[in-house]
Amino acid sequence: MLIVVDVGNSNITLGLYDDQRLCHCWRMETVATRTDDEYALLLKLLLQEAGHPNSVVDGVIIASVVPALTRTMEKLTARLFGVAPLVVGPDLTTGMPVLYNSPKDVGADRIVNGVAAFARFKAACIVVDFGTATTFDAITANGEYAGGAIAPGISISMDALFRRTAKLPRAEFTRPDQVIGRSTMESIQAGTYFGYVGLVDGVVRRMLTELGARPEHVVATGGLAPLIARETATIPEVDETLTLEGLRLLYVLNVDARRARRPAR
Chain centre distance of CA 109: 5
Catalytic residue among 18, 19, 91, 109: 109
DSSP 8-state symbol, 46:
H
Beta carbons within 8 Å of 52's beta carbon, 6+ residues apart = 1, 16
Clarify whether 109 is annotated catalytic: yes
- What count of other Cβ atoms lies within 10 Å of the Cβ of residue 242? 25
Indicate the SS3 state at residue 42: helix
- Quick one: CA dihedral 9, 165, 186, 178, positive or negative? negative
Of the candidates 110, 152, 159, 104, the one whose C-alpha atom is nearest the C-alpha of residue 6 is: 110
Query: Catalytic residue numbers?
Result: 109
